[in-house]
Amino acid sequence: MGAVRLMPGHVSWPLFPGRLDRGYSFVPTTFDVSEAERGVRSAVQLIDAALDEHSRPNEGCPAALSDAMRYSLLAPGKRLRPWMVLSAAEACGGNVEAAMPAACAVEMVHAYSLIHDDLPAMDDDDLRRGRPTCHKQFGEALAILAGDALLTLAFEVLARELKPEALAGRCCLELALAAGSAALVGGQADDLAAETGSGLTAGDVAAGDVAKLEAIHRRKTGAMFLVSLRLGGMCAAASSEQLTALDAYGKGIGLAFQIVDDLLDAGGDEKAVGKRLNKDADRGKLTFPRVLGIEASRRRAGELIAEALSALACFGSAAEGLEALARYVLERNR
Amino acid sequence: MGAVRLMPGHVSWPLFPGRLDRGYSFVPTTFDVSEAERGVRSAVQLIDAALDEHSRPNEGCPAALSDAMRYSLLAPGKRLRPWMVLSAAEACGGNVEAAMPAACAVEMVHAYSLIHDDLPAMDDDDLRRGRPTCHKQFGEALAILAGDALLTLAFEVLARELKPEALAGRCCLELALAAGSAALVGGQADDLAAETGSGLTAGDVAAGDVAKLEAIHRRKTGAMFLVSLRLGGMCAAASSEQLTALDAYGKGIGLAFQIVDDLLDAGGDEKAVGKRLNKDADRGKLTFPRVLGIEASRRRAGELIAEALSALACFGSAAEGLEALARYVLERNR
């Protein structure tokens, strides 16, 4: 694979230029959709090719396990987290190709978390990315193992591919913290607690606990967004000032992403979104639209994206990818 | 914690000096059991103290998740894999204390694998280490997450605690390979395949496929034994000759351990062993006693231990811990 330029024309975002008529668009879109689509398709293809390469079974991997891992990992997806890694590396002036293993690692962690979250004992979902969930396709036992193996593979890829070894060690630590009990896994445990009545539910709305809702979502979604950006930065030898800027940007788009997710869940098109909708409301879970109302949620998402964009000043034009990504987070329809 | 000398007297193995009347003892035991017990108890206490320290919840970890993780991780256990790490570090002339994070990491991976293997969708076990399994105690969803979090924590501890960072990166890679789809997780997938009839079952005995049985067990048990020894060696800056010797030793004791496990499963005391017995035979799975017979299995285990001991020559008296460990593997009653 030769050197990769992420932004072949003036823009390659959003990944899936969709309907922009949802009413909560914040940044006006000015790009040529067909041109953007072309650029995006080739970028997603590059990521998918790397995912394919890094998930080829090692000798000794049972075929059924490999099939289940690759079924979920390579399912059509937005590849949002890999794009964050690559765009952050680009913003920091680094070699995008050198960050590709980190891009694959965060997508592996994402795929594992979806497989386990969809299990009957957890969210019990049948549909993911428009296809049967892993346990529907391969059975529950193999789905558990496929998730376990993808999580492990993420660390393998980081530790083997990133150079020098000290960078690999630092990136493994960042990923472990973001995926661990105080972040990604802890967020899912929060979700469970909400469903069993011991966590934050719609009953808490009266207390106006928006800050608590935001804290939960920073953990559930935000940590993996942040680490995607940080890994990209670290692969590009980012300065501490650049990492701080990436953190500020990531906090904004992470929370905005979750608000838009809640809005899509409340009123999206199931076919376009590719998973069961209204499930949060069905379970009485607290969501942003329920706490703030639809319009205020849209406004809040817009404010967060504005904050995220303002954090990018120090990168100059190298942050074009991150800017487009922020717009996509707000405007996506799935 | 001050510098630790693992072998305070002339021996501190086996960890649990048990009945030595099982008839397949290979190496005569000469040590003073009460003295050994004292030394062992303090060594296990050191490991348990480190496990406790490294599993204290980070800020933001939900309490229920932390409880489930620590319930399984800190349950009374043989701590065989941590002992391998520490004994290997000692054999290679290293600082045992510096290897303690790696000792904790391999025990975390072991605890995670037990939690997930015990799940209803997998082996569906109610009893582990003499107590209710994690999902029996905390529910299935939290058990899945506790396993996920312990696996992730293993990499966090390695990546944060081992110095320099390049060593941390190398150790993360070794652990990921041993825990991954071609080793630990792959071995569990093999087990599933055996149960659903697509893998190796008792029906294969006619073909005399001992080599295949050994290959499966090298993957299922052996890889984590090997990596425990290698991490200990790497923390002690082992030479490639020393690592090769540790590999040869580990291959022998790994397979011997599995044979003894099968023998205990076939004829052990459920209370002493602390988990349900005869489950392999109940499920028609292929075991060493079924393929080779009881006596030949005992003989094979003895031969493997002899091979393992002969691989230790290059370490001289520093391998006292590893020698005692090999004897324990053969003579244990649980």
Q: Pick from A122, A144, A185: which is nearest to B152 by CB?
A: A185
**Positions of E strands within A90-144:** 127-128, 131-132
Chain A, chain B: beta-carbon pairs less than 8 Å apart: 190
**What amino acid is encoded at B120 in this protein?**
P
- B82: Cβ–Cβ under 8 A, 6 or more apart, which residues? B47, B51, B103, B104, B106, B107, B228
Tell me which chain A residue has its CA closest to the CA of residue B66: A181
Task: Supply the ipTM of this predicted assembly.
Answer: 0.87
Is the CB of A165 less than 8 angstroms away from the CB of B160? Answer: no
Rounded to an integer, what distance in angstroms lies between the CA atom of residue A322 and that of residue A325?
5
pLDDT confidence band for A332 (50 / 70 / 90):
confident
Is the CB of B176 less than 8 angstroms away from the CB of A152? Answer: yes
pLDDT in tens, A82-128: 999 999 999 999 999 999 999 999 999 999 999 999 999 999 999 99
The continuous run of DSSP H or E covering B128 comes out as strand B127-128
Residues of A157-171 as b/e, b for ≥16 C-beta within 10 angstroms? bbbbbbeebebbbbb
pLDDT in tens, A162-194: 999 999 999 999 999 999 999 999 999 988 887
- Does residue B89 contact residue B96 with C-beta atoms inside 8 Å? yes
pLDDT in tens, B244-262: 999 999 999 999 999 999 9
Is the CB of B182 less than 8 angstroms away from the CB of A156? Answer: no
Is the CB of A119 less than 8 angstroms away from the CB of B173? Answer: no
Which residues in A lie closer than 8 A to residue B152 (C-beta atoms)? 151, 176, 179-181, 185
CB atoms within 10 A of CB B256: 25
Which one of A59, A145, A219 would you mutate to disrupt binding with B, by most B Cβ within 10 Å of its Cβ?
A: A145
Task: Find the mean pLDDT for residues A24-37.
Answer: 42
pLDDT given for residue A292 in this prediction:
87
Q: Can you spell out the DSSP letters for A238-306? A: --HHHHHHHHHHHHHHHHHHHHHHHHHHHH--HHHHTS--SHHHHTTB--HHHHH-HHHHHHHHHHHHH
Is the CB of A180 less than 8 angstroms away from the CB of B152? Answer: yes
pLDDT confidence band for A42 (50 / 70 / 90):
confident
A131 DSSP β-pair partners: A128
A147 Cα to chain B: minimum distance (Å): 9
pLDDT given for residue B10 in this prediction:
33
**Residue A202 scores a pLDDT above 70:** no
Which residues in B lie closer than 8 A to residue A148 (C-beta atoms)? 112, 116, 147-148, 151, 185
Which one of A117, A172, A216 would you mutate to disrupt binding with B, by most B Cβ within 10 Å of its Cβ?
A: A172
pLDDT given for residue B34 in this prediction:
53
CB atoms within 10 A of CB A316: 10
pLDDT confidence band for B268 (50 / 70 / 90):
low
Phi first, then psi: give them for residue A286, nearest 5 degrees.
-75, 130
Is the CB of B140 less than 8 angstroms away from the CB of A121? Answer: yes
Which residues in B lie closer than 8 A to residue A216 (C-beta atoms)? none
Q: What mean pLDDT, rounded, does chain B reach?
A: 84
With 0.90 as the threshold, say if the pTM is over it. no
- B44: Cβ–Cβ under 8 A, 6 or more apart, which residues? B15, B79
- B13: Cβ–Cβ under 8 A, 6 or more apart, which residues? B31, B36, B40, B321, B324, B325, B327, B328
SS3 A130: coil
pLDDT confidence band for B219 (50 / 70 / 90):
confident
Q: Pick from B69, B152, B173: which is nearest to A156 by CB?
A: B173
- B223: Cβ–Cβ under 8 A, 6 or more apart, which residues? B177, B178, B179, B183, B184, B187, B254
The residue ranking higher by pLDDT, A53 or A4, is: A53
Task: Find the mean pLDDT for residues B214-241.
Answer: 93
Return the residue matching tokens 């391999």. B106
Which residues in B lie closer than 8 A to residue A168 (C-beta atoms)? 169, 172-173
Question: How many CA atoms within 13 Å lie on the side-chain side of A57?
Answer: 19
**Residue A225 scores a pLDDT above 50:** yes
pLDDT in tens, B270-329: 555 556 655 655 566 778 888 888 999 999 999 999 999 999 999 999 999 999 999 999
Is the CB of B152 less than 8 angstroms away from the CB of A181? Answer: yes
Q: Pick from B57, B60, B189: which is nearest to A145 by CB?
A: B189
Tell me which chain B residue has its CA closest to the CA of residue A112: B148
Which one of B173, B184, B217 would you mutate to disrupt binding with A, by most A Cβ within 10 Å of its Cβ?
A: B173
**What amino acid is encoded at B44 in this protein?**
V
pLDDT in tens, B34-75: 555 555 667 789 999 999 999 999 888 999 999 999 999 999
- B51: Cβ–Cβ under 8 A, 6 or more apart, which residues? B73, B74, B82, B104, B107, B108
**Residue B147 scores a pLDDT above 50:** yes
pLDDT in tens, B317-328: 999 999 999 999
B331 Cα to chain A: minimum distance (Å): 31
- Does residue B6 contact residue B90 with C-beta atoms inside 8 Å? yes
Which residues in A lie closer than 8 A to residue B189 (C-beta atoms)? 62, 64-65, 142, 145
Q: What mean pLDDT, rounded, does chain A reach?
A: 84
pLDDT given for residue A28 in this prediction:
33
Is the CB of B175 less than 8 angstroms away from the CB of A155? Answer: yes
Percent with pLDDT over 70 in chain A: 78
**Residue A64 scores a pLDDT above 80:** yes
Is the CB of A155 less than 8 angstroms away from the CB of B153? Answer: no
pLDDT given for residue B23 in this prediction:
30
Rounded to an integer, what distance in angstroms lies between the CA atom of residue B249 and that of residue B207?
29
Task: Find the mean pLDDT for residues B224-247.
Answer: 98
- Does residue B162 contact residue A159 with C-beta atoms inside 8 Å? no
Percent with pLDDT over 90 in chain A: 64
B192 Cα to chain A: minimum distance (Å): 8
Is the CB of B189 less than 8 angstroms away from the CB of A65? Answer: yes
pLDDT confidence band for B25 (50 / 70 / 90):
very low
pLDDT given for residue A14 in this prediction:
36
CA-wise closest residue to B174 among B131, B230, B133: B230
